Structure 1
Amino acid sequence: MKKVLCLVLLFIMFFSMLPAPLLATTQDLSSTVRHVRQAVGASNFSERLDWPILALVGAGEKVDSLIRIREQQVRRGELFDARRSTDYHRTIVGAVAAGVNPRNFGGYNLVQKVKDSQRESGKFGDLISGEGENLVNAHIWGILSLYVAGEPIPNRFRALSWLVNNQKEDGGFSVETGMSSSDVDMTGMALMAFAALGLDADHPAVRKALNYLKSQQQDNGDFSPWSSSGPESIAQVIHGLIMLDIDPAGREWTRKGGSLVSALLRYRRADGSFSRRPGGEMDFISTYQALAALGDVNRGESIYTLLHRKNAGFTDLPPNHSAFADVSELVFRQVLSGYPDGTFRPQNPVRRDEFAKMIVAALGKSPGSNLTTTRFADVPPSHWANPYIRVAVEHNLIRGKDKNLFAPADNISGAEVMTILVRALGEEERTVAKPGEAWYAGSVRVAREKGLLYGGFDAARPATRAQCAYSLMRFLEQSGS
């Protein structure tokens, strides 16, 4: 009885030490998603869909029907001003988030229009014609819309210089160049643009903007009332910080009364929606802005960075490559990633430890960095893939070469890939090999039936990264993920 009591107390102590905002974040997203879904699905809904689409995608939701509605609106000129540049910017963001090509959307090549709107100064015009040097937000969203679309920012140094030259003395930014006071949410957006332009937190202009935001943060973690603070402002700052690899719930952004994340959650109502002021009525804009920011917090990566990674592609994987679509989708789902030099190396063979990570990520199972296995002598607790191998083995997806060895550095064969995927589909009972057949024959039969076999399949040869991408994508389609 004493042992049980001790375990219970340890359990309570452990969870009491976890940051409350982060615990709340995960459990509350579903109710927030529901409110956004209900709002955009209402017959009298008359607002732009682009930002709600972004927020829903960031929360892992499908938005196929919403983006079709939005494309028809653009085609008819509804909620889309063909002169105003920011309408192009937000429409690109929504289209890209939904996985639709913004270069052919509603009768427009939105990306080319934005690129053509850039002025000699490097600023993206207030109007899509290129006219206007006044709107800071038009410049910032010109940068961000091209960034998420995977486009290199044209005249990058001039675009950056214009932004830096319009930073206020206090380090902040305002919506218009002629305004004297800085604005929290515009400064958060500027952080996003700085990150998209390749700057890090140590750049003087970035540090100056961060210092301005710190000067506006109150003891409760929120921003000063006179800075027009609210969920929208906090959300933009969270996006900007995460794009710069800064933790908005970390020590640097935590005051004695809470962090930016806990400050945002104070605007959350009991039903999961958000209000403009704590305790106020449900506000749709506040709700989807908060959802997008909390999605970033949960993921540990900005939705803008994620979209950029998906669409920027790899130097050795052009859009006409047979694996491009599958690889792009799996990168978006954080199942695959490229190399630091910007390549994907589609013909490289996949190792057993690498595929263990791929299948665990594809199934959406979190390995937990502190949970490792000591089962295999060749996979020490310090091995980068140990947590993934543990999960894969525990779920009977992959097995060791023998009782004590996993052989993490061995290339994985086509037979092993199909065996693992068939097990993950719950079809192992159907894989019993017939007398005289190879051990993997049954798995290959089921894999062929399910459409998992990649082109040029050879059970004995190592599977390449492109081949694994094909089979993993077909697996996800079969499993309904």
Structure 2
Amino acid sequence: MKRKACWAVFLTFVMLVTSFHPGALAATPSQINTAAGKAVAYLHSRYESGKEAAIDDWSLIGLVLSGEALPSAKWGDRSKWQAELKRRLQTLDPRKTTDYARFVLTVLALGEDPANVGGENMIARLKKAQLANGKFADRIDGQGQSLINAHVWSLIALYAAGEQIPRAKQAKAWLVSKQLPDGGYQFATDGRTGGIDMTAMTLVAFKALGMGKEEQPVKKALDFLRKAQTANGGYQEGGIPNAESAATVISALLAWGEQPENWKKGAGSVTDNLLGFQTAAGAFAHTRGGSANQIATAQALLALSDLKRGGAYLTFLREKSGARKVARLADLPPSYWAYAEMAYLVKNGYMQGMTSTLMQPESRVTRAQFAALLLRILGEEPNTRAQGLFRDVSATDWTAPIVEKAAALGLMQGSGGRFRPHEGITQEEMATIVSRVLKRYGWNKTFPGPGVSVNGKTVSPWAKASVEDLQRRRLLGGTATKQFTAKAAVTRAEAAVMFYRMLHVR
């Protein structure tokens, strides 16, 4: 009896010690909010002392992600930040593509257009740095193939800007080929063992490439991070436990739907570990017990902001960018019948306005325009060099690489050696093309919408099988009247609805 009593006392003691051990308790939402608030307050004190120049790019991004309004009276008005962006633009290092990628994220966070910063199109510059093999070059002038981080951050920046990744298949293949045997990644291609920071960043880039969690490169990278977690729940880079590594891992985990509080080892989770680097002043130290560190504070605030929202910054910035793009289209109000579908395509980089402020949804779509949209939807690149396959499409015409690729894929055809690039496309022609797409790419799903009736007598014999195919899949009827009219010319809005439905039967 006495032994049982002693055992009970011992268990009670263990429970009390464990319950009051600061590392044993999972970080609560309240603690995360408090930590983020202290970091924001610390950065604001720096801003008050040095104004805009005191807030570096990553800190600025973290502030916006944490819910701070920039520009604002608190942080400086828009004119000040626009001037600051122009100043920072001039300081970008042409030897570092990563500088340009980071700057794009900064511009997005401020709600500005990265395609027009002081007259400079930063999106175009990033895209121009991509090589034929899909790799984004180390330098912005297209030179260098050794830096993995240049590739990774270019992918992240373009995705966050609401762009479709150019040469996505090649870009993915290049990145996957650089995964190390241990499942990790290093900053350069000569690395032999994976590093925490680069592996976490690459996982975010995998998300930007549209990869799935079931894919082996994703599984291997997550497994690498799981195995590398230290005994106190944190991470180390170069043998040094640090805040930045823990923060970067948190953002990567959230990008893949992993809950950081479930990534525990020893006394706590990766989130608990990160909070242990915060100083009394609200900043974060690089190493535990160290002094305030600008990079550590910025990276920690990014992670804390992601934890507060329950999602990765990548998605937040893409949605913010997409909303800005749609809002500036004056002729696409939310009440428009195809608003949801067109807004989706604009936000995700599949479609853009005919001008910077006009969508012209009721305009007739030409065969060349339809081909261009189709390739973008499919992630196919135009031919690099036109051959002059069609008599009415000059090899030097902008449409030539597009229509020739669509023809080479067997999706669009000409007749009598002519493509008729500037003529309109009818609903039955569109149905025929889409049916070919579904067969070629093996898309077998049915769209979850109402079906429509079709008057078979109005459909041309050559289009009947395709129209019936799309009718079965409930892909027809994407018009203002919700009817299918075989010989009617297709508008931009109607093409957008069809493409939207296509994307949802993949």
Same fold (TM > 0.5): yes
Render the CA deviation track for 1:75-113: whole Å, top value 9, x for unaligned.
345532245311211110000011000111133100010
Q: Which residue of 1 aligns with 2:255?
A: 243
- For the pair 1:94 / 2:106, whether they are aligned, the reply is yes
- 1:270 CA drift (Å): 2.5
* Contact kept in structure 1, 2:25 and 2:268, CA below 8 Å: no
Give the one of 39, 42, 46 matched to 2:46: 39
Judge conservation of contact 2:195–2:237 (CA < 8 Å) in 1. Answer: no
| Alignment check: 8 A CA contact 1:184 1:228 kept | no
Identify if the C-alpha distance between structure 1 residues 244 and 37 changes in structure 2 by more than 3 Å, giving closer, same or farther. Answer: same
Correspondent of 2:93 among 71, 81, 86: 81
- Residue 20 of structure 1, aligned match among 12, 22, 27: 27
Residues paired across the two proteins, number: 319
- What amino acid sits opposite 1:218 in the alignment? T
Structure 1 residue 287: Cα displacement: 1.0
Partner of 2:244: 232
- What secondary structure is seen at the aligned counterpart in 1 of 2:259? coil
Counterpart selection for 1:320 from 329, 334, 350: 329
Alignment of 1:300-315 (within 5 A): 300-312=310-322
Q: 1:58 and 2:70 equivalent? A: no
Report which of the two structures shows the higher radius of gyration computed on alpha carbons. Answer: 2
Once the two structures are TM-superposed, the CA of residue 207 in structure 1 deviates from its matched residue by: 0.7
1:321–1:67: structure 2 CA closer, same or farther, 3 Å change rule?
closer
Q: Distance in 2 between matches of 1:105 and 1:225?
A: 35
CA distance in 1, matches of 2:333, 2:98: 30
**Whole-Å separation in 2 of the counterparts to 1:208 and 1:121:** 24
Give the one of 192, 195, 216 matched to 2:204.
Answer: 192
The 5-angstrom pairing of residues 195-206 of structure 1 reads: 195-206=207-218
- Of 186, 200, 213, 1:174 maps to 186
1:428 maps to none
- Look up the match of 1:283: 293
- Per-residue deviation at 1:33? 0.2
Q: Which whole-Å CA distance do the structure 2 matches of 1:161 and 1:208 have between them? A: 16
Change (3 A) 1:74 1:306: closer
Match of 2:289, as an amino acid? G
User: How far 1:199 sits from its partner (Å)?
Assistant: 1.5
Aligned residue identity for 2:36 = L
Aligned to 2:140: 128
- Per-residue CA distance 1:135-158 (angstroms, 9 max, x = gap): 111000100110111001111111
**Paired residues of 1:174 and 1:182 also in contact (CA < 8 A):** yes
Partner deviation per Cα, 1:163-214 (whole Å, 9 max, x = no partner): 1111111111111111223210111100100011112322100110111111
CA shift digits 1:38-87 (9 cap, x unpaired): 22443398677221111000111122238755643553455322453112
Q: Specify the code of the residue in structure 2 equivalent to 1:79.
A: T
Distance 1:137 1:69, change over 3 A: farther
Name the CA shift for 1:49/1:20 in 2 (closer, same or farther; >3 Å): closer
Which whole-Å CA distance do the structure 2 matches of 1:106 and 1:314 have between them? 18
Partner of residue 283, structure 2: 273
8 A Cα contact 1:185 1:237, kept in partner: yes
Q: What is residue 49 of structure 1 aligned with on the other side?
A: 56
Structure 2 equivalent of residue 452 of structure 1: none
The amino acid of 2:243's aligned partner reads P
Unaligned runs of 5+ in 2: 1-18, 347-506
* Residues 1:294 and 2:301 are matched in the alignment: no
Q: In the alignment, does 2:153 pair up with 1:144? A: no
CA pair 323-234 structure 1, distance change in 2 beyond 3 A: farther
Does the alignment pair 1:115 with 2:124?
no
Of 183, 201, 204 in structure 1, the residue corresponding to residue 195 of structure 2 is 183
1:257 aligns with 2:267: yes
Partner Cα distance (2:55, 2:140) in 1: 19
> Is the 1:192–1:240 contact (alpha carbons within 8 Å) kept by the matching residues of 2?
yes
| Cα-Cα RMSD | 3.4
Q: CA deviation at 1:272?
A: 2.0
| In the alignment, structure 1 residue 163 sits paired with structure 2 residue 163 | no
Q: Is the 8 A contact 2:57 2:102 kept in 1?
A: yes
Q: Is the 8 A contact 1:39 1:45 kept in 2?
A: no
Relative distance call for 1:285 and 1:61 in structure 2 (3 A) is same
The alignment partner of 2:212 has SS state of: coil
Query: Does the 8 Å CA contact 2:200/2:248 hold for their aligned counterparts?
Result: yes
* Cα distance, 1:23 vs structure 2: 3.1
User: In the aligned structure 1, how far is the partner of 2:253 from the partner of 2:78?
Assistant: 28
Paired residue secondary structure (1:43):
helix
Contact 1:114 1:142 in 2 (8 A): yes
Structure 2: distance between partners of 1:50 and 1:66: 17
For residue 297 of structure 1, give the secondary structure of its aligned residue in structure 2: helix
Q: Does the 8 A contact of 1:53 with 1:67 survive in 2? A: no
In structure 2, C-alpha distance between the alignment counterparts of 1:297 and 1:192, rounded to whole Å: 15
- What amino acid is aligned across from residue 126 of structure 1 in structure 2? D
Distance 1:244 1:67, change over 3 A: farther
Assess, with a 3 A threshold, how the Cα gap between structure 1 residues 106 and 48 changes in structure 2: closer, same or farther. farther
Residues 209-234 of structure 1, C-alpha deviations (whole Å, 9 max, x = no match): 11111111012101246444411111
| 8 Å Cα contact 1:136/1:175 also seen in 2 | yes
- C-alpha change, 1:224 and 1:314, in structure 2 (3 Å) is closer
Calculate the TM-score normalised by the size of structure 1: 0.60
Q: CA distance change for structure 1 residues 168 and 40 in 2, over 3 Å: closer, same or farther?
A: farther
Aligned partners of 2:68 and 2:327: how far apart in 1? 27
Which residue identity is paired with 1:199?
M
Q: Which runs of 5+ in 1 are unaligned?
A: 1-12, 328-336, 345-481
